[in-house]
Structure 1
Amino acid sequence: MPIDAIGQVAGTETINEQSSVNLDEFMRIFITQLNYQDPLDPVDNREFITQLAEFSNLELSRATQTDIADLLEVNAVSQSLGLLGKTVEVSGSDSAVVGSVSSIRFVQGSPLLSIVTSSNEIIPNLSPSEIRVITE
């Protein structure tokens, strides 16, 4: 049974910080809009409340996205640690290699496994997505 990659989901990228507006910038824009509105035709209060609510929802969505990314990283660490000592089958370039997971290291939050084969050969830097079968 093949397993999916452990770690960050492919294709998910963080929001570009330059294109986002933080709370201070939003409030500056909001105050500027109030200062320069037409006194004879002021903007409806409901529009301002709607804008604040939309910004609030956007901030909540960003915080949720960050929390989910952190949760995925913790999950990847947990799943990777669970592989320690397990016998795994890894698909190699020529044939499948069977060995025991001996160590795990993390590079930029992504787990890399080292396995030891029955002939004591060490195969380092394997991504968990390369594992095809896990046995006890």
Structure 2
Amino acid sequence: MSVSIDPSLLLSNNTKTRSSGSNLGKDEFLKILMTQLQNQDPLNPMEDKEFISQMANFSSLEQITNMNSLMQKFLDTQKATDSILKYSEMIGKSIEWSDSGAEEAVQTGVVKAIKQKNNSIILELDNGKEITSDLVTKISQPE
């Protein structure tokens, strides 16, 4: 009886390097399971209990991976919300900033609204001007 091994499963053909230590992903787990099924001894096949246990492990791994992905999206959303909430305290406050144009003139305005654009916070002023939050040099109560 001749047993052949799928060449894609050989270590010499696998050029991907993993940086996450000894953690197996669902693709690696599935490849191992398929290899195990293909190369089992026909006179002593894998027990149903073993197969069911491994499939349950695979299902658990997939669910944990999905939960991790959803948790990461949730955390990213929280970071964005936290930034806007933090800067929302500036609404109604008078601010000063230095315009980095030709002359370093200090300008003032009252913050009317806050918005987020491309991972930076934009302050909308009562005069219609918009500036990024990193230009602010002073915050005070309006006069």
For the aligned pair, the TM-score class normalised by the smaller chain equals 0.5 to 0.7
Name which structure has the greater RCO, CA cutoff 8 Å, separation 6+.
1
Matched residue type, 1:37: Q
2:68 to 48, 58, 61: 61
**Unaligned segments of structure 1, at least 5 residues:** 1-25, 117-121
Tell me how many residue pairs correspond in the alignment.
105
Q: Counterpart of 1:3?
A: none
How many Å separate the matches in 1 of 2:99 and 2:114?
A: 19
Shift of 1:66: 0.5
1:114 matched to 2:121? The reply is no
1:135 matched to 2:140? The reply is yes
1:71 to 73, 78, 92: 78
How many Å separate the matches in 2 of 1:95 and 1:48?
A: 68
Matched residue type, 1:101: V
Identity of aligned residues (%): 12
Specify whether residues 133 and 53 from structure 1 end up closer, same or farther in structure 2 by C-alpha distance, changes over 3 A only. Answer: farther
Q: Counterpart of 1:37?
A: 38
* TM-score normalised by the chain length of structure 2: 0.51
Contact 2:84 2:115 in 1 (8 A): no
* TM-score normalised by the chain length of structure 1: 0.52
1:103 matched to 2:113? The reply is yes
Superposition RMSD in Å: 3.8
Which one is further off, 48-57 or 74-83? 48-57
In terms of Rg, which structure is larger?
2
How many Å separate the matches in 1 of 2:118 and 2:69?
A: 21
How many Å separate the matches in 2 of 1:130 and 1:61?
A: 36
